[in-house]
Copies of this chain bind each other. A is one copy, B any other.
Amino acid sequence: MQSKLSKYSLVNGEFFPAASASLGITDLAIQRGYGIFDFFKSINGKFVFIEDHLDRFYFSAAQMHLPLKHSRQELKSLLQALMEKNELLDSGIRITLTGGYAEDGYTIAEPNMIITQQAFTNPTFSSQGLHLMTHPHQRQLAEVKTLDYLMAIRLQPLLKQHDADDVLYHDQGMLRECPRSNFFMVNHQHEVLTSATGILKGVVRKQLLNLKISGLTIVERDFNLNDLQQAQEAFVTSSTKNVMPVSSIDGRHIGNGQPGEVTRALAEAFNKLIA
């Protein structure tokens, strides 16, 4: 049942075999879906963009009033210890913080913190693009990385019906994000656009926005479904996908359905960054 997790997990700073790690049923995640998390990679034993991820993790915890008893340095030591215990250098690491054991089923208690690791190989660029399906939905508390994936998981059967790989949310026509990645489009003016509001601000997205590539302008600006009709290229970014081209949206090809030059250039620049 937990075959993809690496041998050991940490629960509140203690090692447990991943297969037997558990939380009591009064935890607020189980009772009320209340918690936050973050997810990042290790490549060859090095945590990728760890400061950005911990910034966001502490931000999410603060936004949800979840007190963290570990300092940033202690948390890093735990991450390092887990990696050594699992002897796993290329991995995906997830830190989850829940509302804790709530006597009344409603009030935040001392949070439970779970850290898991699983084998993960940093992907190389794939010219096989994603097929996206748009869906109207605005994530609540969008800038906080909460546990809430109700809509995303509920939509999985619909995605299958439409042969789509992932969903692309819009809020009354304003483009937002995919459930686990940020969305970008390239317009006729060769601007690379990514939504400014109503989204989780991804770490790969942030890194792209900081890239200086001559001839390329990357802009945070909201855009809508009409703008999307004019997209020359589109791609998504995330820690698991890096920069991944989008080949179609709602069954309509983006460009000629093959990854475009801008997408390739950004993927290449990003891969250099994490090499």
Contact A30 B114 (CB under 8 A): yes
Which residues from 101 to 139 on chain A have a C-beta closer than 8 Å to any C-beta of chain B? 101, 103-109, 114, 116, 137
CA distance A11 to B30 in the complex (A): 13
Kindly identify which residue among B5, B28, B35 contacts A26, using a CB–CB cutoff of 8 Å.
B5
Residues of chain B contacted by A69 (CB below 8 angstroms): none
Q: How many monomers of this protein are in the complex?
A: 2
Residues of chain B contacted by A146 (CB below 8 angstroms): 33, 150
CA distance A259 to B64 in the complex (A): 35
Binary interface encoding of chain A residues 1-20 relative to chain B, with 1 for a CB under 8 A from any of its CBs, else 0: 11111000101000000111
CA distance A154 to B2 in the complex (A): 31
Contact B27 A21 (CB under 8 A): no
Q: Is A72 an interface residue (CB 8 A)?
A: no
Residues of chain B contacted by A149 (CB below 8 angstroms): 32-34, 106
CA distance A33 to B35 in the complex (A): 8
- A-B complex: 7 closest residue pairs judged by Cβ atoms: A33-B33, A33-B147, A22-B22, A32-B149, A1-B101, A21-B25, A2-B26
